[in-house]
Amino acid sequence: MYELSLIALITPLVGGLLAGLIGSKVNKSFTHWITTLGIFISFSISCWILVEVFLNPSLFLNQNIYEWMSIAGFNFKAGILIDHLTVSMMAVVTFISLMVHIYSIGYMHDDPGYHRFFCYISLFTFAMLLLVMSNNLLQLFFGWEGVGLMSYLLIGFWYKKESAIQANFKAFIVNRVGDMGLLLGIAVIFSIIGSLDYQTIFNSSTELVKAKISITNGYSVSAITLACLLLFFGAMGKSAQMPLHVWLPDSMEGPTPISALIHAATMVTAGVYMVARMSPLFELSSVALSVVLIVGATTALCAGLLGIVMCDIKRIIAYSTISQLGYMMVAAGVSAYSASVFHLMTHAFFKSLLFLAAGSVIIALHHEQDIRKMGGLKQYMPITYLAALIGSLSLIGFPGFAGFFSKDALIEAVAHSSTVGSEFAYYCVLIGVFVTALYTFRFLFMVFHGQTRFKGGEQIKESSWVILIPLILLSIPSILIAWPTFGVLVFGDFFSDSIRQISSYELFGFEYQSPLSFLIHSFSGPVIYLSVIGIFAAWVGYIKKPELPYKISNQFTTIHRVLVNKFYFDHFYENVIAKNTAKLGSAFWKFGDIKIIDDFLVNGTAIRIQKLSTITKKMQTGYIYHYALMMVIGLSLLLAWVIIKS
């Protein structure tokens, strides 16, 4: 299994390097075949290991590959950890990546950066696999930064487009802010335990509980709380939790396949994965869990509200992603890590399905992304419509779909939790259920139903099969994946070797029997009915009475303005943080760099030497009698000194 795991990790790297180095010298077929083959091999191995783990639950591998560095008795190693959480993430990541690779063959066919694109997405998959397969925090950090770098390159893939350059710069800066928290959290752990190995950290976690970190004289905090809060701050940046969420909607400037890859199962879920992986530490800090819970709940609700007023088809789905990431964090905050990870997995399928369906629409409408200029596409693109409908039903948690099981389970856990902030979180996620159904079916109705609002309808046609096949393949798990796996992954002890789990009854408040019994049990709660009300509200507002949303927005202009301006987060960052930071930097530059370093030290030294040399050169007159006089004066002073000494 060790050798196979290495092959699964390395093949995307090899494919990406070959595509980048020699792909343009061969042809497009070589580029997409070599990268897709690498991902397919990795996916096949991941599935094989996952099956082995299901058949043999005790299967576990924690293997160091080599020693990377040794300093002052501290050894830093690169290694592989294969447990139930790892193989689940590997299977999901490689499957989504494989679908994106196939889809991109059609979507990016005429793009001049074809070879570069496949190189980037393959290397992105390698970095994500490196992150999830690592057995220590240092290697996780390398994978973490790797996906950050590749996302920067992919968001700004169309580098001649000004908005794309601004978007990838924004993503880079915001993620670096979060990454500083992650790095400091790792530093706190290392400073106390002296190791970055997961197993060593978990075995020595009592040292973190006992240790105190001095902030100021007379004030200190628990090391475990500080470490967990800093780690979560890193997760907030990567998983786009408020207020570090602003980069993700703008990242829609990249090609649509990237939106599916980055915002479905890979980069944005890295923060959720890290919190789940570090659950043995988070469980030791009630403060950290409450912060995770409250931030996640706020993000789930607020991001959903923004999805209601967006008109860009990809930004609607992007805000939906932020909202669903909030749901995952909420589950982690009430210690329902299995539900959090399961929602991560189901979300990967239906959200990538929605993004790729949106890409199919964008291609058909010649890169039009404003849903106000769409409508009636159902008759022109029936397969794309069916895929979008399946993704939408799974997203809102419609009974029987994969998203229903994962979302309903985590809401049950929140309802049953006694964690500080759980009551606030419960109301947030319940309102979020209605909001999710509203913006999701607003998108579906405005794009595929109603009157056509575009020109040239006779030219609109269904996308090619290379684009439709990934949609069909993603539709299947979006409907069915939860039925055979829900009980084992969420209510069972499947993840017990990876994350800290309490009994399902203690967590959810009832005994699980079967998916069907859980579905029937859910009708006793409010979630299903809130979803139906949301669908009905969308139907009334965008099909039956399309003038109604405009009347409501005119009636509540202040609220509408706040939502359209995205709660003014971007305004605050750009006009308060960025401008004042630039002013402060300018002041330091003018005073520190110009006045002190340049004028006083560098140029000032040169000016003073020049003045001194000007004075000194006056002594060099060129007349012999002046030199003779100076010799006489010098000799006289020397003789006087000798006489005085004697």
CA distance to 195, 231, 308, 444, 525, per residue, from 519 (Å) = 45, 36, 28, 25, 11
Give a yes or no: residue 182 inside a domain.
Answer: yes
User: Backbone phi, then psi, for 297, in 5-degree steps?
Assistant: -65, -45
The domain boundary, picked from 510, 536, 564, lies at 564
Residue 554 and residue 525 share a domain: yes
Single residue among 564, 586, 605 that ends a domain in this structure: 564
Secondary structure string (H, E, C) spanning 441-487? HHHHHHHHCCCCCCCCHHHCCCCCHHHHHHHHHHHHHHHHCHHHHHH
The span from the CA of 620 to the CA of 626, in Å, is: 9
Is residue 589 in some structural domain? yes
> For the segment 355-400, what is each residue's pLDDT rounded down to a tens digit?
899 888 888 888 888 888 888 888 888 999 999 999 999 999 899 8
| pLDDT at residue 264, as a whole number | 67
279 in the same domain as 163: yes
Q: Are β-strands 61-71 and 219-222 bridged in parallel, bridged antiparallel, or unpaired?
A: unpaired
Q: Looking at the domain assignment, is residue 183 inside a domain?
A: yes
Residues 477 and 598 grouped into a single domain: no
Q: Do 580 and 559 share a structural domain?
A: no
Element (H, E) at 222: strand 219-222
Give me the pLDDT at residue 330, please.
93
- Residues paired with 77 in a beta bridge: 67
Length of the chain: 646
Phi, psi dihedral angles at 215 (to 5 degrees):
-90, -55
What is the domain extent for residue 606? 570-645
Are 416 and 498 in the same domain? yes
* pLDDT tens string 401-450: 999 999 999 999 998 888 898 899 999 999 999 999 999 999 999 998 88
What is the pLDDT, as a whole number, of residue 13?
Answer: 93
Read off the tokens for 127: 């970095």
Determine which of 34-43, 125-134, 608-617 has the lowest per-residue pLDDT on average. Answer: 608-617
Within a domain: 115: no
Query: How confident is the model at residue 507, as a pLDDT?
Result: 82
> What's the confidence (pLDDT) of residue 391?
92
One domain for residues 162 and 230: yes
| Cα Rg of the chain (Å, integer) | 30
Domain match, 303 and 166 both: yes
Question: 108 lies in a domain?
Answer: no
Q: Based on the domain organization, do 519 and 553 belong to the same domain?
A: yes
What is the count of structural domains for the chain? Answer: 2
The pTM for the full model equals 0.89
Write down which residue in 564, 587, 610 finishes a domain.
564
- Decide if pLDDT at 142 tops 80: yes
Torsions phi, psi of 182, nearest 5?
-60, -45
Q: Which residues pair with 75 in a beta bridge?
A: 70
* Any domain includes 611: yes
Q: Is the pLDDT of residue 29 over 70?
A: yes
464-485 average pLDDT score: 90
Please say whether the beta carbons of 178 and 244 come within 8 A.
Answer: yes
CA 79/CA 102 separation, integer angstroms: 31
Q: Within this chain, do residues 594 and 557 fall inside the same structural domain, yes or no?
A: no
